[in-house]
Structure 1
């Protein structure tokens, strides 16, 4: 097996990627007492979350982070990290939005929108609501080029990201 060096300078033996996924996903930690990650920490948390998705994806697919926001989605005093991401395939793509919540000193996936999101142009998170600006195909639109604007609103609760009513 091949050895590699972790961030602390320790040499460890390489492990199968599936055993390491929890470590990869949760490796960005906050200093003791830090309540809210700053923008750079949130971006690193998002990138590491997407690295776990990439590890199980087809070699032809790639995951990219779009907008990343930090907000207390459920009013419990703890900030969540919200990630708007895109999965790109050779001839297809789709967007997703995932809420990551703090588990001890780390962040872990705590809910993801299950519905199709259309072509997402941006995300804003305020007052516990995740708002996505999207475009959907009109009657005469080519598949590549939707033109009908639509705003989708989501809430995170009980480990789910669901459409807000």
Structure 2
């Protein structure tokens, strides 16, 4: 199966719903919301799946894309997709393994944009948000988009992160976080 991203580029995906690629209209909405802030940014793609969000960021000029993906088959697809779209001056890296276990390896690094799209029933939302805050992975002026089901989704407040906007696109919802006192 293939999907198309910015510039009519085709990406590979795995068959079935194992990686559930972000819907085209949701991808487009995220990049419209963040337009003007992708070029030159540092992008973190959590639960990367097919890597479509990181690939889109590379196509739109992100300077560096880092992803985390647990499933080995998906990781191979992510690397192929990013290699296909990255320009020579752009850097990308895929960390393989559990997202909660890999986040401490990013301590000391900050990202301008973070996209987090785990399996909706995974129970990863709270621990990942807490790790992002604890390790200060989101840049002070950065923003994080969390994809989730619009039904029955809640997280406990994180002292240093705040919700700055929420959007619903059919069966997909996005909640955007920022570091407290930063502007969306």
TM-score (norm 1): 0.31
TM score, norm. by length of structure 2: 0.29
Write 1 or 2 for the structure with the bigger share of helix.
2
Q: Larger RCO: Structure 1 or Structure 2 (Cα < 8 Å, ≥ 6 residues apart)?
A: 2
